């Protein structure tokens, strides 16, 4: 909480902070605070009105779905199935045989395997390991 808000919310601190102000200045501050409060009230009423409209639309849609014989869970199930699908793994693009005779493949994405790193650092082109 800022120091200003701490002073504003505590009666003694507010009194102490405003003791050098004249009554006219205090009245001016009061008018400004009243305008801020009125704007906040209007904003909150607008927000409540929009929420009520949204809830009414949701209820109307639920009634329409029920009239058409569509269950809300059916809609949710279909949308989650599409989201959870994984893409097919990419085919390997490069292949090399290490010192132990084991074939190591790499798609060309992600971290480069150490066997490929060693060969590339020795000056061998990565294109020599392309799978044809």
Structural domain spans, the chain: 3-82, 94-129
pLDDT one-digit tens code per residue, 30-60: 999 999 999 999 999 999 999 999 999 999 9
Instruction: Determine what percent of the chain is predicted with pLDDT higher than 70.
Output: 93
| pLDDT tens for each residue of 80-127 | 555 667 888 899 999 998 888 899 999 999 999 999 999 899 999 999
16-27 pLDDT tens trace? 999 999 999 999
Strand partners, 96: 104
| Measured distance CA(77)–CA(90) in Å, rounded | 28
Residues 6+ apart with CB under 8 A from 93: 106, 107, 108, 130, 131
N-terminal to C-terminal alpha carbon distance within the chain? 66
Q: What is the predicted pLDDT for the residue at 70?
A: 85
Phi, psi of 69 (to 5 degrees): 80, 25
């Amino acid at each position: 909480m800022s120091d200003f808000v701490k002073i504003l919310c505590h009666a003694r601190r507010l009194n102490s902070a405003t003791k050098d102000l004249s009554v006219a200045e205090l009245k001016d501050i009061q008018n400004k605070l009243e305008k801020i409060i009125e704007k906040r009230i209007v904003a909150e009423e607008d927000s409540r009105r929009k929420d009520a409209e949204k809830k009414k639309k949701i209820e109307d849609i639920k009634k329409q779905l029920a009239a058409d014989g569509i269950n809300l869970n059916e809609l949710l199930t279909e949308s989650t199935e599409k989201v959870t699908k994984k893409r097919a793994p990419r085919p390997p693009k490069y292949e090399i045989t290490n010192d132990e005779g084991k074939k190591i493949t790499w798609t060309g994405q992600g971290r480069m395997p150490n066997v490929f790193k060693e060969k590339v650092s020795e000056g061998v082109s990565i294109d020599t390991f392309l799978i044809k």
